[in-house]
Structure 1
Amino acid sequence: MSKTIRLEKFTANDFLYYFQLVSDATVMAMITERALPQDEAERLFAEILANNTLHPYFGNFKILDALSGDFIGLAKLEISSVECEEAELGYVVLPVYWGQGIASKAAQILVDSAYKQPTCRKLFAIIDPQNLPSRKILLKNGFVSKEFKDFDGLSGEVLELIF
């Protein structure tokens, strides 16, 4: 039986959930290729909290088990400003939950949410080109490959979905 999930925006009390993800080298292997130290994680989490104030339907969300409330991962639909017409879709799931379709469910929820927002015209996602499961999730949600480029020394594939 597959898990039912719910998404809730990260709050100031949720740093330990975030740090559980980003301090795990296995989780971060295809994102930064390294676990993040606490000081860097704290700085990035402060940016997440600030971004979460821009719009009620965009930001960074905890992926939670709908029944138990257990923390599963992070899903984001991140904008750079209130007027922004595009958002970045992303997701990170704790290894114990890999292969259960959770990232796919989170992506679908966020794509549906973005589609309902009149100002949002495009979603994009950046993945490690070797992350085939993530690529499959994005293609399933209508994304198409746009380009390959270097991101701070790491190769990435940019995929986009235009509404």
Structure 2
Amino acid sequence: MTNKEFPIIETERLYLRAAAKDDAKDMLIYLSDAEVVNHMGLEPFKTIEDVWDEINWYNSIYNEGTGIRWVITLKDEGRVIGSCGFLNRQMKHYRAEVGYEMNRDYWGRGIAGEALNAVLRYGYTHFSLERIEALIEPANISSQKLVEKQGFIREGLLRHYEYTRGKFDDLYMYSIIKAEFK
């Protein structure tokens, strides 16, 4: 980390904070789950070292100013159950892309929506973002529903936008503008 202090976000049920090396065991649980990483363009993680690489990436985007990734913990449990944050931040254009993933044991409880809402609010308040984007595979219906519930609009299909795991992926482009955020 740099000298700047990593921000902590608190919601009704959650603490969002910086990832620490000690979180790797919790993170490996969901990052090694094929269903969790299926729509992320990643192979399931196999080792703690894979997770340390992910944590190092979180640190690098923060230090470079191109993004920020919070790990998600439930206040009453403390263990890491997912992450959410910004990447591809373009300060000159007041925009960033948002991403997230969650341990499958916690799907369907509104936790991802609570975390995403807090991260969006942070982006508009502290980064002065005007536009936040989400790139989502067409088959990832639950992620589409999650962002639509937050007010994102589907703008269109980006054909063969990414090359991951040996194939080209189409991605829907979603966005939400600051004035649309509730």
Shorter-chain-normalised TM-score: which range?
0.7 to 0.9
Change (3 A) 1:116 1:80: closer
1:17 is the counterpart of 2:26 = yes
Q: What residue in structure 2 maps to residue 129 of structure 1?
A: 138
CA deviation map 1:6-33 (0-9, x unaligned): 2112134433333333222121112226
Question: Which of residues 43, 65, 75 in structure 1 aligns to 2:74?
Answer: 65
User: Which residue of structure 2 aligns with residue 117 of structure 1?
Assistant: 126
Percentage of pairs with the same residue: 20
Number of the residue aligned with 2:169: 154
Provide structure 1 residue ranges, at least 5 long, that are not aligned to the other structure.
none
Q: Quick one: distance in 1 between partners of 2:56 and 2:109?
A: 30
Give the gaps of 5 or more residues in structure 2. Answer: 1-11
Counterpart in 2 of 1:105? 114
Q: CA RMSD in A?
A: 2.4
Aligned mate of 1:139, from 139, 143, 148: 148
2:90 maps to 1:75: no
Alignment partner of 1:48 out of 51, 58, 66: 58
Q: TM-score, normalised by structure 1?
A: 0.82
Is the contact between residue 58 and residue 69 of structure 2 (CA under 8 Å) also seen in structure 1?
yes
Higher helix share: 2
Per the TM alignment, residue 129 of structure 1 is displaced from its structure 2 partner at its CA by 1.2
Q: CA deviation at 1:34?
A: 3.1
For residues 45 and 11 of structure 1, the distance between their equivalents in structure 2, rounded to whole angstroms, comes to 7
1:76/1:89 contact within 8 Å kept = yes
Contact 1:111–1:141 (CA under 8 A) maintained in structure 2: no
Specify the code of the residue in structure 2 equivalent to 1:110. Answer: V
Determine if contact 1:54/1:81 at 8 Å carries over to the other structure. no
Aligned-residue offset at 1:157: 1.1
Distance in 1 of aligned mates of 2:71 and 2:83: 5
Q: Structure 2-normalised TM-score? A: 0.75
Aligned twin of 2:35? 26
> How many residues end up aligned between the 2 structures?
159
Aligned to 1:116, the other structure's residue is in SS state helix
- Counterpart amino acid of residue 172 in structure 2: E
